Structure 1
Amino acid sequence: MKKTLLACILFIFSLGALAQPSDPASPDVRLINAFVDEWHDDAAHARPAYFDKMAKNGVYIGTDKTELWNRDAFKEWAKPYFAKGAAWSFKAIRRNVYMSADKKFIWFDELLDTRMGVCQASGVMRRTAKGFEIAHYQLSIAVPNPVADKVTRTIKEFEAAPAAK
């Protein structure tokens, strides 16, 4: 029992060490930031490379509760936006990058300047022989705490309306 407890404690401490953001000046983090910034820029300019940067089995979760897609379904959904020559424009205000010890798995969180106001997102990437790929991305609208009750009430009212069903 003591060995199990000790192993659990060591495991928890090792997770804490993993949760520290990587040095923003490190070459790896600069490459990761450039990759994610380019991914966002691909969307802003409706470049098909946007979807190429996602893993084949990648997942994108948008701000609406119905927006959960695999890469190919997301690409299909986004066709009308990309056909216009410009889709959505996200600019990072801040990004924290984390990596596994072998640097093959990367996760990040970011604050974004968007047409919806400030959004938050998190992503998971992996390093492959061909470079990086985004395996999972989740976008959310950052709701300030002082207005959260009002936003929650608005959502509940909307969802209670017959048209929302």
Structure 2
Amino acid sequence: MIAHLAVLLLAAQTPQAAPEPAPEVAQVAAVLDRLNDASTAADGPTYFGLFTPDARFIGTDATEHWTLAQFRAFAEPYFARGRGWSYPATERTITIAPIECRCIAWFEEKLTNTSYGETRGSGVLRLTDDGWKIEQYVLSFAIPNEKSDAVVAAVRGTDAPR
């Protein structure tokens, strides 16, 4: 009995390898990583090829709720000048739809950017005949709660509450 307990305690203390992520999770993560690589390289064809034709991009400004065509019209002049943007993920959570479908994924990620610091990305991907494609991408600023009143006041053009 004591030997059996010792084996159980030893097993409980032995680090277990983390389970391998589902193949779909790794595929979705690869799409999101390619998105950042393409934007960093100002590679418009690769970047926009990662979206579905009916995708939406929601940016940090209240006016940035774009169809893919509108977003492309905004971004391509930057890419044409070799100017991209980089938002590498520092953390990411990916969820794949239940077993019945496994054709929809949603994600949220912490990103870092030289100008903006920590930001957030979230969205939805759909499995297509050409692989996983981004259906919706939302980029947002991470505003600490203790600074939110001042940010709201700045957006409204008023003095921050005391």
Return the TM-score normalized by structure 2: 0.79
User: When the two structures are aligned, how many residues end up with a matched partner?
Assistant: 136
Contact persistence 1:126–1:134 (CA under 8 A): yes
Q: 1:120: Cα distance to partner?
A: 1.0
1:67 aligns with 2:64: yes
Secondary structure in 1 aligned to 2:42? coil
CA distance in 1, matches of 2:20, 2:153: 39
Q: Alpha-carbon deviations, 1:50-90, whole Å to 9, x = none?
A: 00111100000000000011111100111221112131101
Seq. identity, %: 35
* Offset, 1:26: 2.7
Letter in 2 for 1:111: K
Q: CA 1:98/1:113 → structure 2, altered by over 3 Å: closer, same or farther? A: same
Q: Structure 1 CA distance, aligned partners of 2:148 and 2:48?
A: 33
Distance of 1:136 and 1:24 partners within structure 2 = 26
Which residue type is aligned with residue 122 of structure 1? S
In structure 2, the CA distance between the partners of 1:86 and 1:24, relative to structure 1 (3 Å rule), is farther
Contact 1:41 1:90 in 2 (8 A): no
1:2-81 maps to which residues of 2 (within 5 A)?
25-47=21-43, 48-81=45-78
Residues 11-43 of structure 1: per-residue CA shift (max 9 Å, x gap) = xxxxxxxxxxxx773322112111111111111
The residue that corresponds to 1:155 in the other structure is: 155
Structure 2 unaligned runs (5+)?
1-18
Residue pair 1:51, 1:75 contacting (<8 A) in 2 also: yes
1:152 Cα deviation after fit: 1.0
1:110-151 deviation digits (Å, cap 9, x = unpaired):
110013111112110001111011001111100011111111
What residue in structure 2 maps to residue 131 of structure 1? 131
Q: 1:123 to 1:45 in 2, by over 3 A?
A: same
Q: Which has the larger radius of gyration?
A: 2
In structure 1, the partner of 2:80 is 83
Structure 1 contact 24–30 (Cα < 8 Å) conserved: no
Tell me the TM-score normalized by structure 1. 0.78
